[in-house]
A and B are shown apart, each in its own frame.
Chain A
């Protein structure tokens, strides 16, 4: 999923201060799962904003609405019936959702209420960790199912650097050494020999190196 964290309240307040009527839009997908911008968080932020402004003598009107999927034009269309009643939109979706709302409602200011962080997985209750950087040319088939691009601090493709200690990365004892994980997994699979195959320099055109990316599926595109 795409993970996100809510921005500090002060930053959000600064965005909405000039407005009286806010449409606060959550998303039912990733940000709901990582507890950053789903229906529940929309309710909490709405109350927090109204209270903060009330203390300053301002009655901020907040209309709450959570879309099924904010990165999808079909669902974003739902906002058309309530958009005129708002001076600005505050989105709790990831950056994709924020941009889709901005694209659809051109004359309405749209502000992000969360910081979109990474593509990751849940490690345990309340903990998410980065797993993928969307390089566009997946290596997991040769690295034992552990990504060195996303999980090695130096994105080394050919083995652990000299800073790997007791399975941890040199930057922090809280970060696993990706190559220790890869090596352990290759061993578990009986694929130790694979380690010595040199992974050639990566072609970053499939990633950000090629500029903003787009997928066009001829079989589906209209």
Chain B
């Protein structure tokens, strides 16, 4: 074991691992963090806490993660290279680790263009791959990126994102290979709707043995409505929603669409379970966390394996 991460333990036990996410509130509303966390308690193995997602200011991933730790959950610290330089990043990594957060996700982050602070400076001192290298160096060599020794190095289980659906498609396996070479331990993918394309990507991943070097968690987002399906298809960059899925959602009465969305999501998970190299799921039920237990139940993923932290 590289770390004390519960996610690492579940993955090495041979079980499918499941993570979900919790977007912190836009303010100091502690109750909201706790309420969302409560919905996921005992249902998933670890919970991502997003970092200023969609480039909108929210309670920090670190601070919200500490609340989850206090509740006995296992937060995954998300961190983007957009908002911090390498000094601030490393400072927060050791700080979070000191508070018992031992799993993190290294991202570049949505461009400020999409958020409510488009006037903000883009930092991007390092990119997501250099970020992975930095966290691995901190863990395995016990040194900061600048070279100095760390007094009690943070032993982080290192995650990153992969989007099999973005262009150029032919680079997508190679991009994962770079993250693996940089030292990533697990990957959470973009939401998967085009299963054929995902399977094609996974074939490339397995052909290079990358699935043996990092655990790939398939990204899942249940759709609440036909409107959401259409929006994701047409408006979200890097998202691949097949037309037949939009039609299927639109084909049921409005009041039944949420149910249909859950059904699609569970069917996808059943199919993805059989895909070689899939080590688990990352369920992003955006502002719909209450549905995660139902999805987990229907997908046959409950109860979660007993792992001592």
Q: Which of chain A's residues has its CB closest to B130's CB? A: A201
**Interface contact A162-B127, CB-CB below 8 Å:** no
Report if B129 contacts A (CB, 8 A): yes
Q: Which residues of A contact B113 (CB under 8 A)?
A: 153, 171-172
**Interface contact A159-B175, CB-CB below 8 Å:** yes
Pick 9 A–B contacts, CB within 8 A, sort by A: A153-B113, A154-B81, A158-B128, A159-B175, A161-B163, A170-B238, A198-B129, A198-B178, A200-B130
Partner of B133, one of A159, A161, A201: A201
Q: Which residues of B contact A166 (CB under 8 A)?
A: 167
Report if B161 contacts A (CB, 8 A): yes
Q: Which residues of B contact A128 (CB under 8 A)?
A: none
Q: Which of chain B's residues has its CB closest to A153's CB? A: B111
User: Of B86, B111, B113, B134, which is in contact with the most chain A CB atoms at under 10 Å from its CB?
Assistant: B111
> In the bound complex, how far is the Cα of B134 from the Cα of A202, in angstroms?
12
Q: Which residues of A contact B86 (CB under 8 A)?
A: 201
> In the bound complex, how far is the Cα of B109 from the Cα of A163, in angstroms?
10
**Interface contact A162-B178, CB-CB below 8 Å:** no
Partner of A201, one of B145, B171, B175, B177: B145
| Contact of A183 with B238 at beta-carbon distance under 8 Å, contacts A154-B108, A196-B174 already known | no
User: A-side interface residues toward B, CB under 8 Å?
Assistant: 153-167, 170-172, 177, 179-180, 183, 195-196, 198-202, 204
Interface of A: prevailing SS: loop
Q: Which of chain A's residues has its CB closest to B176's CB? A: A159
Given contacts A158-B128, A164-B238, A165-B237, 6 further A-B contacts (CB under 8 A): A153-B111, A158-B175, A162-B166, A183-B168, A198-B129, A201-B130
Q: Which of chain A's residues has its CB closest to B165's CB? A: A162
> In the bound complex, how far is the Cα of B130 from the Cα of A159, in angstroms?
11
Smallest CB–CB gap between A127 and chain B, Å?
Answer: 21
> In the bound complex, how far is the Cα of B161 from the Cα of A161, in angstroms?
10
**Interface contact B130-A157, CB-CB below 8 Å:** yes
**Chain B contact patch, size range:** 35 or more
Partner of A198, one of B114, B124, B133, B163: B133
Q: Which residues of A contact B237 (CB under 8 A)?
A: 162-163, 165, 170
> In the bound complex, how far is the Cα of B167 from the Cα of A204, in angstroms?
29
**Interface contact A177-B175, CB-CB below 8 Å:** no
Smallest CB–CB gap between B46 and chain A, Å?
Answer: 21
**Interface contact A183-B134, CB-CB below 8 Å:** no
**Interface contact A154-B127, CB-CB below 8 Å:** yes
Smallest CB–CB gap between A192 and chain B, Å?
Answer: 8
User: Of A161, A166, A201, which is in contact with the most chain B CB atoms at under 10 Å from its CB?
Assistant: A161
Partner of A159, one of B109, B114, B129, B238: B129
**Interface contact A170-B111, CB-CB below 8 Å:** yes
Smallest CB–CB gap between A191 and chain B, Å?
Answer: 13
Top 4 nearest A-B pairs (CB, nearest first) are A162-B163, A170-B237, A158-B129, A163-B237
Q: Which of chain B's residues has its CB closest to A162's CB? A: B163
Q: Which of chain B's residues has its CB closest to A158's CB? A: B129
Q: Which residues of B contact A157 (CB under 8 A)?
A: 127, 129-130
Report if B126 contacts A (CB, 8 A): yes
User: Of B127, B129, B133, B177, which is in contact with the most chain A CB atoms at under 10 Å from its CB?
Assistant: B127
Q: Which residues of B contact A159 (CB under 8 A)?
A: 129, 171, 174-175, 178
